[in-house]
Structure formats: C-alpha cells, structure tokens
Structure 1
Amino acid sequence: MSLTTHVFGPEAPATPTVLALHGLTGHGLRWQALAREHLADVRVVAPDLLGHGRSPWTPPWSFTDHIDALVAVVAEHIPGDAEPFVIIGHSFGGALAVRLAHRLADAVRGLVLLDPAQGLDPAWALQVATDSLAHWDYADADAARAAKREEGWADIPESLLDREIEEHLCPLDNGRVGWRVSAAAAATAWSEMARDAVLPPRGIPTSIVVADRVDPPFVRPAFLEACAEEDSVRVVHADCGHMVPYLEPALTARLIRERLDGA
C-alpha cells in the first residue's frame, strides 16, 4: 500500500537524504521541526506508517507489511542512483529501521535509532496495549492535551504540542476526539514489538540513543549487550524521556550528520 509521505529540504539530486520513521501513534510531520530547524540542508523523507496519519488504515500491519510499504517509499522518493541514505527511527520506527536496513543493505549509509522499541516483555506489551485501547479517545482537545502531558510530553515545548493537536487530533464518530491512528493497528504494533529484537546489519554504522528516563526501558539490556559486540554500533545515553526527537533535537541532528558523513 502507498504511504502518505512528507518531504522536507532541498530537492537537488546531490542532497544528502534521510528516511525518517516515526513511532507508534505518531505521523511523518513530527519530523518537520527537526528538518527545518536543524537539518535545513538535508532532504528528509518522512512517511506516515501503516494505520497512522493519512496513510491507509486497512490491514495487515505486521513488521513485514510495513517494510514492504517502506521499500516502495524508497523506490518512489529516493532515486536509485542517489548516494546511500541514512535511516532514522524512533521507538516503533526504530524497530522498523533495523529491519528495513537488512532488506535494503548497500543502499543504507547508516542508522540512527532513537530509543528503539523491540524485544519487549510480552506481558508488559499486553498490559500497555490493553490500557491504551481502554483510554483511546477524549472528551475534547483540552483532555487530549492533558493526557499527552502525562504520557511523556511533559517537557516538550507548547508550540510542538499545539502543532500535534492541530495536525493529528480528529473528531470521532462517537462525538469524542482521538489521534489520527487506527486503534487496531496500534494494538498490533505492540504485539510486533514483543518479537525478538533484531540487531543492526553488521558493518552498517549505527547510533543507538537510550532515553535514560524511561522505566521500564524500551531498549532492553539484552539488545545492548548484543550490540556491544559489534564495532559498528555506538550507544549514546540521553538524560530525557522517550520522545527523543523533540527533547534532544540537537543531539539527534548531530548523530544524523555523523552518519551522513560516514563517521
């Protein structure tokens, strides 16, 4: 299925390119601030994932189906004769980024994984998915704003939360409001994130950012231990919550540039 894709930055053929994958319940426009304020000279290709934003909501929504859709995004938006590009993924998008890098191999210059969510404890994933479905909608925008502040957005600038509500909150058939995300697709994503973690492809330079204020952590100790054996993987700890692209944009941009430069 064709994904709605947002493109920021220069269109010149020689422009360095980043494929940016948002997290669960997010959307591609979340990368707009990072692209415009920190990566203005970089072309950022940012799709809405399956079941999210303005992309198709119809199933299936597995990792494999996401990867198939992302391969099509690359074919459409990143020319085959372009320089290898960097993939950045946040949370659920980080789990997809690793798997997409395995599929595309030599086309990928590097990976930046922001608090990637994979290999999660199945019992915990079930609990979070169940709780999310039980509190899926809100009475109004003010209630949605308050819920976001309680769910990891407490330190995010008000302007970014305003933009999130304007773009991503929509009226529902029951007279309430909710985020522009398929509840069924979101529940499926929690199941996928409980699958065994996949390591970055050997030899592809990878930066992994661990958000140290997340408890329990999305980045599991076993995954970090396995990555420690790979010379091409660098782990960076950030003193922030889970929304790393919003909370640590300068760090995020620096890591992207390092991968674009082949550092």
Structure 2
Amino acid sequence: MSDSLHVHTFGPEDAAPLLALHGITGHGGRYRRLAEHQLAGRRVLAPDLRGHGRSPRLPPWTLEQHAADLLAVLDAHRLDSVPVVGHSFGALVAIHLARLAPQRVRKLVLLDPAVSVRPADALAWAETPVKTCADRAEALATQRNDWPDAVDPELIEEEVDANWVPITRATAQANPEQDPAHQPDPHQTNPPQVTPAQGTHARPTQSPPAQSPRSTPPHATPPPAAPPQRPTPATLSQGNSPQDKPPPTSGGQPCSSLSAGGGGGRGARNLWMDSGDVDWRPRYCPAAVTTAWSEMCRATRLPPPGTPTLVVRALREAFVGPEFLQACKVELGADFTLVDLDSGHMVYLEEPDQVARLIDGFLE
C-alpha cells in the first residue's frame, strides 16, 4: 500500500498558494466551494488528513505525524512557505505544523479551533459507534441532521457523494481489512500524491487550559422523537462535536451502527446503490478519529511567536476557551487577531462569504 496523502487542489497553478486543513471525520474536498467561489484567486491545496478521505489509513495518527505529512505535501508541491487555514482539529494540526517548521508557515487562520475539549466529552464521542445507514436517502437525512445550520441544501448532497461510501455487506465481511477510501473523487481526476515523512514526538510544554463547565457528555443517540436542536455552549452535549453534530438520526430514528473498530470494506462504486445488502458509511478510519479525540485532550500548544494568527470563533459553540485566547494574546501580542462570528462550528460552510473576506483581508 502506498503511504501517500490525497490532495485536493483548486485554483490557478500560478496563483498564491494556501494550505487548507479539515477537521475530524472530514476531507479536503469540503473546501471546494470556498476555494472555487470565494477564494478563486488563490491556489488552494486541501489534503485529506491521514485516516480520512482517500489518504492512507495506517497509523500513527498523532498531531506530530499529521504535521510531518503536511511538510511532505509542501515539499511535493515545492512550496517553501505558505499561509495555513485549519478548521477544528485541523487547526490543531496547523499549530503543530507551525511549531514543527515555523519557517514553512507564513500565517495561521484557525477556524473555530478545537482547543477546549473536555476529556469526558472526548471519551463520550470517541466511544460513539460509527455511523452506518441503510441507503443513500438515510445517509442524506443523517448528514442533514449533522449540519442543521448549512444554508445550501446542495451542500448535503455534495457531502454524501464525496464522503459516504456504499459497502456491500458480503464484501465487508469477506474483506474486513480493506477500506472504502480509494474510490473515484467526483470533483477531481488524477490527484497528486505525496509521500509523508515520519513525524517527531516532542513533549508538549504548554499547560492545558482550564476547561469551561459543560453539561453531561453527548449521548450515543438522541431520543427518537427529538428534532435537531441548535447547539449552544451551555448545551454542548445536545449539539456539535468539534467536527459534526450529535450521533446521527434519520427521520427521528437512529441509524444502525458499528463498533468503533468497524468501517472496512471496499464497496461498490455506484454512489446511488440502494439495496438491502448495502450499508452506507462515511469515508474515514474510526481508529484515526478516536485517536484525534485523544489528541485534542493533550496540553494545548500555541502558535510560535512571530506567526501572525487569526482565530475565528463560532459564538454558537464552546470549543475556543478564554484561557487559549488569553495565552495567544500574551504569546503573540500584535500578531494575534480574534474575530467572533454568529455561526455554528462549520463556519466556512455556514458563512463562506464572511470567512473568505476574513482570510483575504488577513493574508493581504
């Protein structure tokens, strides 16, 4: 198996480059709309992180390894220094990249970074079973429930087509070691592949921020009759995880589920294959996601001094604690900028125009 990252590329080859990093359970293709519509004048490179999308599923899945993988992406594209945008867990990866190789990161844009996740909440989410659905319609309903703040309904269709895989049960049972990652990308052909280097394993030196109080950990499945609710900081257990929403439901009824170790199988290539012999599953490695939850509970690192950093905080969420912001102000001084948006966690999908204006203005 080739140990290489899948990279989504958008925009003119000679345009100013920008590295864009997704959060857990996601994929680089989620930046397609922002790149093609709002940031059309930039060359956006959006890799699938290790264990996600069409990138390798092999461990390790540590922040250090993700950062090393991204250095290989920059090397493969012959980029000496670039601005980096990171969302949620991807923002943590961006910080680690900047600390591993500060000369390679010109500026940081951290979109609602998952820097204040309580260990109890991370454990509850890590133990949540993998989503599986009976057919594409149920997958659409599940994704719609995960993203209730998504304004454009076409986003849901695009996400299911890009990140959900129909897997025949016979194939999954006969070939549990195979994964659904390597299927055609509906928006890209012949994507560049890069070979990541092995990461370092430096011990974090920053003390973890104090955690803001939250309600009980998220449940495995909401009550069957409960409609999707808009999450708030006071009701985190009924709202988002740092990447998506509560464990999914479809039409008020929970989807079927696998244990966290499931998710194998190559599956059929027809994305509209609805059959009683097919399960629909998202295209990520459950073990990588579980590890990411653990990584989010490590001592939070700060952007290195001298790195201009923009933090975009989603006011409907509680993933950016005041301790992190205060530490950034002290560490970065005039190089630190905070902007609050009245948005859910998926800020670049929910408020693409505002986010693009912030990115463009900050990078100029």
Percent identity (aligned): 44
Give the counterpart of 2:141 among 132, 146, 158.
Answer: 146
Counterparts of 2:32 and 2:147 in 1: how far apart (Å)?
19
1:220 partnered with 2:215: no
CA RMSD of aligned residues (A): 1.5
TM-score normalized with structure 1 length: 0.91
Q: What is the identity, as a one-letter code, of the residue corresponding to 1:228?
A: K
* Aligned position for 2:158: 163
Q: What is the identity, as a one-letter code, of the residue corresponding to 1:31?
A: Y
What is the deviation of 1:52?
0.5
What is the deviation of 1:62?
1.0
CA shift in 2, pair 1:78/1:260, >3 Å: farther
What is the deviation of 1:145?
2.1
* Aligned position for 1:126: 123
- Alignment map for 1:36-75 (pairs within 5 Å): 36-75=36-75
C-alpha distance after superposition, 1:158-185 (max 9, x if no partner): 1111111111110235331111101111
Counterparts of 2:124 and 2:325 in 1: how far apart (Å)?
24
* Aligned position for 2:297: 194
What is the deviation of 1:136?
2.1
Counterparts of 1:73 and 1:41 in 2: how far apart (Å)?
21
* Aligned position for 1:105: 102
Assess if the C-alpha contact under 8 Å between 1:8 and 1:32 holds in 2. yes
C-alpha distance after superposition, 1:62-84 (max 9, x if no partner): 1111111111001112433xxx3
1:85 partnered with 2:82: yes
Q: What secondary structure, in the 3-state scheme, does the structure 1 residue paired with 2:127 have?
A: helix
1:177 partnered with 2:172: no
Instruction: Tell me which structure has the larger Cα radius of gyration.
Output: 2
Moved more, 85-94 or 136-145: 136-145
Q: Which has the higher contact order (CA 8 A, sep 6+)?
A: 2
CA shift in 2, pair 1:78/1:247, >3 Å: farther
Q: What secondary structure, in the 3-state scheme, does the structure 1 residue paired with 2:310 have?
A: strand
What are the ranges of 5 or more consecutive residues in structure 2 without an aligned counterpart? 170-277
What is the deviation of 1:248?
1.5
What is the deviation of 1:257?
1.5
C-alpha distance after superposition, 1:118-158 (max 9, x if no partner): 34211110011112xx2521222222222222223433411
Give the counterpart of 2:313 among 191, 207, 210.
Answer: 210
Counterparts of 1:235 and 1:187 in 2: how far apart (Å)?
29
What is the deviation of 1:194?
0.9
Give the counterpart of 2:6 among 4, 7, 17.
Answer: 4
* Aligned position for 2:180: none
TM-score normalized with structure 2 length: 0.66
Assess if the C-alpha contact under 8 Å between 2:108 and 2:307 holds in 1. yes
Counterparts of 1:255 and 1:202 in 2: how far apart (Å)?
21
What are the ranges of 5 or more consecutive residues in structure 1 without an aligned counterpart? none
* Aligned position for 1:33: 33
Normalized per residue, the structure richer in helix is 1
Q: What is the identity, as a one-letter code, of the residue corresponding to 1:103?
A: L
Counterparts of 1:76 and 1:256 in 2: how far apart (Å)?
24
Q: What is the identity, as a one-letter code, of the residue corresponding to 2:285?
A: S
Assess if the C-alpha contact under 8 Å between 2:4 and 2:56 holds in 1. yes
C-alpha distance after superposition, 1:190-232 (max 9, x if no partner): 1111111111111111110111112xx1112221121232321
Q: What is the identity, as a one-letter code, of the residue corresponding to 1:259?
A: F
Counterparts of 1:135 and 1:62 in 2: how far apart (Å)?
20
Assess if the C-alpha contact under 8 Å between 2:149 and 2:344 holds in 1. no
Q: What is the identity, as a one-letter code, of the residue corresponding to 1:185?
A: A
What is the deviation of 1:95?
0.5
Counterparts of 1:173 and 1:184 in 2: how far apart (Å)?
21
Counterparts of 1:139 and 1:22 in 2: how far apart (Å)?
27
1:17 partnered with 2:17: yes
